[in-house]
Every structure is written in C-alpha cells, then in structure tokens.
Amino acid sequence: MIQNKHTFMLTLDWRIRRIGQALFTVWAVLTLSFVMVRMMPGNIMGALVTRMSRQGINPARARELIELRLTIDPDQPIPAAYVDYLTNTLQGNLGQSIYFTRPVTEIIAETLPWTLFVLSWAIFISFFLGIAIGALMAYWEGGKLDVGLTSYAVVIGSVPFYVLALLLLIFLAYRWNLFPSNGRQPTGIDPGFTVAYVSGIVYHAALPILSMLVASGMASLGMRGNSIRVLGEDYLRVARLRGLSDLTISTQYVARNAVLPMYTSLLIRIGAMFGGSVVLEQVFQYRGIGLVLLEATHQRDYPLMMGGFMVITVAVVIALLVADLTYGYVDPRARRTQ
C-alpha cells in the first residue's frame, strides 16, 4: 500500500513538472513575441505609420490604428505594456491584421482547420503505412521483400517533401490533369456536408497529402529496427509453434509491440509538418495557415505573423505534452521510468 502511494506521488510529481515545462514554453513564446515587436531594430511602429500614411491615412490616426492592431502601446513603460500584452493575448485578443484588416483570431480560425485537415490525414496515412511496411521488412529480414522495401524506404525518405510536391504537381496536375493544381474546395458547389462538396475537398487535398507521405520512409525504417528487436522475444516462438500464419504474427504480434516506441515520434512529427505546411501550401496554393503566414511575412503583417506562430507553437507544445502524459498508458513499461 505504501509502495503504491509512493509510486503515485512520483508519477504525479513528474506530470506536474511536465505541465510546468509546457506552460513555461508557452510563456517564453509570448514573451519573445512581445520583445520582437517592442525591440526589433528598424522601428516597426515608424515603418507601419509611414506605410499607412502613403495610403492617405493621417499619421496620428495611423498610429492609433497600429497601436490597436498590435495590442501594444509603444509609449507605455515596458512592464505595463508587457502586462497589457499578456492580458490581451490570454483573453484571445491577438490584434488585427494590418494587411487583411480583420481580427487575427478570425483569420486563424478560418485557415487553421484546412491545414489540420491535410496534416492529420498525412500523419495518419504515413504513420500506418510506415508501420505496415516496417513490420514486413523486419519479419522477412534479409529476403528480397526486405531489400526491395528497404530501398523504397530509403529513397522516399530521402526525397524532400517539396520536391515530391513539385513532381506531383507537374505530372498529375499539369500534364495528366488528374488532380487540381490549386485551391482547397470545389467551385460551383455550395459549401455543406454533401457528397459532392466533401469529395471535392478531398480531391483538392489529395496532392498535398501525397507529398507528405515521404515521412512514411523514415517511419518504416524506424519500425523495422524496433520490429527486429521484438522478433527475438519468446512469445513469438510460441506463436509459431501454435501454427499462426506469417501475416498474423507480423501484424498482430510484431507490429503491436514494436509500434509502442514510435508513439512519441508520431506527435513530434506534428511540429515538422506544421513547418512544412508553409512551403507545401505555397506550392499548391492551398489556402491554409501556412500560406497566410507566408503572405503576412511578405506584407510585414506583424500581428498576423505573431498570432500564427504563437498558435502553431502552442499546438506543438500541447502535442508533446499529450505524448509525455499518455505514453505510460500506451506502453506500461515506460511507467517505471517516470
């Protein structure tokens, strides 16, 4: 009883530390965003006032608008401005986009679901494709199937996703006209939960999703290494003595146990794919948060840039926190190290 209570307290202490680290990371991102606006060389406020003045807006009025959109008053003392900035951010007020003249939260809420749609399917397909290929490679280690699949994994894993995206765009979109080259939804169809509209969304997202499947190469190689270690376990010898088929053993026994260490890498991959979405959405002109952030960068739309980067960072931090807190339930062997 005392031992169980001690284990529970250690686990609780570990979880509190992990949550504290996540909160500290989010605070650090918010603070860096404040510092970037307040102390970046070049006088951001002056540059924006000059830019809006060229559009015929009175400099005094332009200054008021920029202060409202940045949620930072440059004339305030730094401690007071920092407190106001954190308060506004925690209340969901990320300012107003200078280029789009709309609230940043509204733009993010409009574009983020499209990026999440592509990334979630890309992560799901590449992860499970890598698991299946890696398990087969390990079970027939040294055979022709292993050599062929390993060659495929090395090649596809070495190709940058944007190179594959360009190849898919050139051949499947421009030359063979099998998929659309841009856009995120079908034209001429009213938005709604209908077969025509949903299938059109999937049709437009197909090439961006296929471009992200390069991640399946590295996933399959990682799965192969984990599976080879599992193949030496005694319970697999028992499974063979029971007369189970090779397919059953490779998928239900080998894959099930070898996949556990890859759980964390699955959620870590979210961060890498979020970063890649900026380039990918530019290639396919797929209007998600990545393309909007790129436009904000070109237009020096600081509120939108900060808001987008902040949301992406928080999403990655949450994904890593979920991985840390739930890995012990996925793989009970890890609980002893927590």
Sign of CA dihedral 63, 68, 71, 76: positive
CA dist 54 and 31 (Å) reads 31
pLDDT at residue number 284? 93
10-residue averages of pLDDT along the chain (338 residues)? 56 80 88 73 62 71 69 70 83 82 90 91 89 82 87 89 92 93 87 89 94 88 84 77 77 73 73 79 92 85 82 82 75 55
The answer to whether the beta carbons of residues 322 and 315 sit under 8 Å apart is no
User: Structural domain boundaries of the chain?
Assistant: 2-90, 107-327
Domain 107-327 falls under CATH 1.10.3720.10: yes
Report the candidate in 147, 204, 158 with the shortest Cα–Cα distance to residue 178.
Answer: 204
In this structure, are residues 281 and 204 in contact, taking their beta carbons and an 8 Å threshold? Answer: no
pTM of structure: 0.81
Whole-number Cα distances in Å, 68 to 61, 73, 94, 96, 106: 11, 8, 10, 7, 16
